[in-house]
Amino acid sequence: MLNLKTIDTDWTLFLDRDGVINYEKQNDYIHTWSEFKFYEGVLEAMAIFSKKFKHIVVVTNQRGIGKGVTKEEDLIYLHNKMKETIELNGGRIDAIYYCKDVESSSPCRKPNPGMGLQAVKDLPTIDLTKALMIGNTLSDMQFGKNLGISTIFLPTTRPKVKVDDDTIDAVFPSLIAFAQSLL
C-alpha cells in the first residue's frame, strides 16, 4: 500500500500522457497540437508536482508514428508545446519518452519497462524505491510494477477496470485530485 505521507522531494513521478494529462481520442491518436486538450486541473496539478517531486517524467506509447498515421515531427512539436504550457503555469516536465514501435514485444513499449530504464540512465538521481507511476490503463500499472515502483490508477477513460487489480496501489479520479492529496 502506498503511503502518500512518505512522498517528498526525493521522489520521481512517472506519468502517462493520453488519458492522464490530456483527453484521449476514442479509437484514434492525438496527431497534432490542435487536437491536444488538457484535462481540467492538470496545469494546477503539474505546478503542485513541480514543488513535490525531484523528477517528473512522461512515458507514452505512440504507436501512431510506427503505423505511419502520426508524423514524428508533429509529436515532437506537440510535446514541446505541452511542456511550454505547463511551464508557463508554474509546472515542469523533466523528460518525455515515447515509444513509436508497433510490436507489443518492444522493450520500450509499455508495459515493458524500457522507457523507465532509459529515464534512470539519463537521470541517474532517480531512485526507483522512491518513484510512482500514474496512468489510466492496466498496461501503465504493469509498467510501474515491471519497474518496481508504486502505481496510481486514474479511471478517466476506463471506468470499468477492476480497481482491486494487484498492479494498482491507489486510485484517484483525476490528476488534480492526486495532487491535492499531497498538500
| Order of strands, sheet of 170-171, starting from the edge strand that comes earlier in the sequence | 95-99, 55-61, 12-15, 131-135, 150-153, 170-171
Alpha helices per DSSP H over 89-136: 114-122
Nearest to 112 by CA among 153, 140, 154: 140
Alpha helices per DSSP H over 72-149: 72-88, 114-122, 138-147
**143: which residues sit within 8 A by CB, 6+ positions away?**
14, 59, 110, 111, 112, 113, 115, 116, 133, 135
SS3 letters for 171-182? ECCCHHHHHHHC
Name the grid cell of 47: 505546478
Q: Give me the catalytic one of 8, 10, 16, 122.
A: 16
- 166 labelled catalytic: no
Q: Give me the catalytic one of 8, 10, 18, 165.
A: 18
- 28 labelled catalytic: no
The residues annotated as belonging to the active site are 16, 18
